[in-house]
Structure 1
Amino acid sequence: MDFGKLVPWNWFKKEEEEKGHIVPVKIEEDVHLFPASIHELQTEFDGFLDSVKRTIGSKWINNPLIRTDLFKPSLDVASDGKEYSIKVELPGMDKNNISIECTNNILKIKGEKHQEKEEKKKDYYRIERSYGSFERILDIPDDADSTNITSSYKDGVLSVVIPRKVLPKKETRRIEITSES
């Protein structure tokens, strides 16, 4: 039995190593990886941090000393027998401000979102859009064909397709057991 198929590939291994934190993962309500009290505590703490971000306002959020991963676009990773597909939500971004690089089975998706226009006639009291640069780092599996990666951008969604290649089968060698005299 090939146990490798049962264990999901950690696409975010390099991103976690670089940033020193774990990327949040949506967990279905039926699955509890933590005791209920710790899970509830984490949910409350996340809500508290979100309210702090909203309360502080854009003056503090745009401060480079405080800003940490506030603009981190969501992405979906899926696969079938032929290819891996990655979809990144980048609403309002120009495709010329997005770059994709692949080196040593590490896929980097980078970009920068700019505030494009300022209206002098209106007084803004609150703007709820994220601006700034982002970088998502994905550790692609060994069976990914990194030389034939394609991408497209439409309606604020970046689609990256990585074909899968057939890996050579590993040869199993029997080891003879001898008895000691």
Structure 2
Amino acid sequence: MNFDNLKKIYQFSESSHKDDYWKEMFGSNDKEWFTHATNPIKNSDTFPACDYYIFESRYYIDIELPGIDVDHLTVKINNHILHIEGYYQTLMPNCSYLLKERQNKHFLKKITIPTYVDEKTINKIYKNGILQLSFSRKE
């Protein structure tokens, strides 16, 4: 690897954790997308963990929901707020736990959707424990 490539990697590692770097990368038109709290999931009590991103002009939200019965999930949008509600059940009946680390609780996740996203174009896919929601931009 030459020195120029090493320099680029170093510059990326120095900048990639800053919000301004990602705002610049995704463009100034998407400022609204970055108005949510930026605390990582491991440093908060937010549940379930989500990723927000833009790919090929669509807006995606991937939500970790392993073992969830999607028929018992409620997904709705009201005034540009996406509500995801359900119950994460991990307790096994009639057993004595020696270690219990997985959460067992009701959850309600609220995510602000930018006004320029077309809420009527929501697409839902549940695969391998990930609920993926996607939206297009309003024309």
The CA distance in 2 between the partners of 1:146 and 1:7, in whole Å, is 18
**Structure 1 position 85 matched with structure 2 position 60:** yes
Judging changes above 3 Å, is the alpha-carbon distance between structure 1 residues 114 and 92 closer, same or farther for their aligned structure 2 residues? same
**Structure 1 position 109 matched with structure 2 position 133:** no
* Aligned-residue CA RMSD (Å): 2.6
**Structure 1 position 9 matched with structure 2 position 33:** yes
| Letter of the 1:135 counterpart | L
- Does the aligned pair in 2 maintain the 1:11–1:138 contact within 8 Å? no
Judging changes above 3 Å, is the alpha-carbon distance between structure 1 residues 161 and 6 closer, same or farther for their aligned structure 2 residues? closer
3-state SS in 1 of match to 2:134: strand
Q: How does 1:76-155 map to 2 (within 5 A)?
A: 76-80=51-55, 82-115=57-90, 117-120=92-95, 123-155=96-128
Larger C-alpha radius of gyration, 1 or 2? 1
C-alpha displacement at 1:117, in angstroms? Answer: 2.8
Judging changes above 3 Å, is the alpha-carbon distance between structure 1 residues 134 and 150 closer, same or farther for their aligned structure 2 residues? same
The CA distance in 1 between the partners of 2:74 and 2:124, in whole Å, is 10
| Letter of the 1:127 counterpart | K
Contiguous gaps of at least 5 residues in structure 1: 13-21, 27-45, 47-68, 167-181
| Letter of the 1:154 counterpart | K
What residue number does 1:161 align with? 134
**Structure 1 position 25 matched with structure 2 position 40:** yes
- Does the aligned pair in 2 maintain the 1:98–1:110 contact within 8 Å? yes
Q: Deviations over 1:115-161 (max 9, x none)?
A: 353244xx422211101111111111121111121111111100001
Contiguous gaps of at least 5 residues in structure 2: 1-26
Runs (4 or more) in structure 1 with deviation over 6 Å come to none
Q: Percent identity?
A: 26
| Letter of the 1:7 counterpart | K
Q: Identify the match of residue 75 of structure 1 among 19, 26, 50.
A: 50
For normalisation by structure 2, the TM-score amounts to 0.67
- Does the aligned pair in 1 maintain the 2:91–2:104 contact within 8 Å? no
The CA distance in 2 between the partners of 1:150 and 1:70, in whole Å, is 27
Q: How does 1:22-61 map to 2 (within 5 A)?
A: 24-25=39-40
For normalisation by structure 1, the TM-score amounts to 0.53
Relative to its length, the structure with more strand (as a share) is 2
The CA distance in 1 between the partners of 2:33 and 2:75, in whole Å, is 20
- Does the aligned pair in 2 maintain the 1:112–1:134 contact within 8 Å? yes
The CA distance in 1 between the partners of 2:50 and 2:56, in whole Å, is 20
